Amino acid sequence: MSRSRISVLWALVEAGGLGPVARQGSTISGSAKSWAIANSVLIFGELVWNPIDLMDMLLTKHYSSGTRAGVFFLALGFTYASVISSIFENSIPAGNDLAALWPRFITIRRGFYIAAIISYAMCPWYILGSASSFVSWLASYQIFLSSITGVMICQYFLVSKGYFDIPDLYTSSSLGRYYYHKGWNYRAYIAYVIGIAPNFYGFLGVFGLHITEAATRMYYFAYPMGLVLSFSSYYALCLLDPPPYSRMKGALQEPRDYVGPDDVLDGISPAHIGESIVIGAPGTKGY
């Protein structure tokens, strides 16, 4: 595994040139079958998937000033990439989401700290203990994403019929279309749990828990199963208790463009838009 041109060149030098690396057959089977340019098998005789372990082995094999300098800059690059990705891809989104969830008590900075505490509570070092556990953890996202996808598809195509009141999506007013019951759409949460529940037992097997053969085979179809279950359960709940201002009995309507009141006042004529246009203000009820 390599993240910079320098590390690739260094690995090629250690492996004896590009020729031996390019001719090296795959030593990995299954979904991870591939060969990497920085092939540790040619250098050390074993497959090393963790770049930190690889740099440690390089220092052990060739402990010199050049190797120390090279490992230092490689480690500095890894540190920089980890810090930047953690801040912009994890901390900021988590802080924003938590602040939006409870803005009266949680600021974005407090959301950072909450996310940091939760990340340690998850014990990520167990996930990174081996390549197989890390890849399995990444694949396990499907049971959570499938349930979210099923609810979103059902909401868009069957409940809202392609129609959204854009201003009301960004208001916390109790007069908004999407305020539901005190700001919570319980139908979506119930459908989400229903989509996850059948696959959660198989998800525990990713972390070494002994599960049955039936649960293992069921987990192979976790994504389509979770999507169908969450989709159907959300639709059934909306039929039993229709959300306010739903359009379940109407025709599908997908506006090509959104034009707000300010845009119309600025001189953009609704006649210039080929399809339906949503015009409204936050908290309005009429279509």
Question: What pLDDT, in 10s, does the model give residues 152-161?
Answer: 999 999 999 9
pTM of the prediction? 0.62
Q: Alpha-carbon distance 28 to 8, whole Å?
A: 20
Residue 273 contacts by C-beta under 8 Å, 6 or more apart in sequence?
256, 257, 259
- The pair phi, psi for residue 184, each rounded to 5°, is -120, 130
CA distances from 260 to 176, 254, 257, 286 (A): 16, 16, 10, 15
Segments making up each domain of the chain, as ranges: 1-129, 140-272
Question: What are 29-77's pLDDT values in tens digits?
Answer: 443 334 443 456 667 777 777 788 888 888 888 888 888 998 899 889 8
Number of neighbouring beta carbons within 10 Å of residue 25: 6
Question: Minimal CA–CA distance to 165: which of 149, 153, 179?
Answer: 179
Kindly tell me if the per-residue pLDDT of 189 is higher than 80: yes
Residues in the chain, total: 287
Percentage with pLDDT > 70 across the chain: 74
- pLDDT for res 154: 96
At residue 166, the pLDDT reads 84
Looking at the predicted structure, is the pLDDT value of residue 282 above 50? no
The pLDDT, as a whole number, for residue 271 is 52
> What average pLDDT does this structure show over 196-215?
84
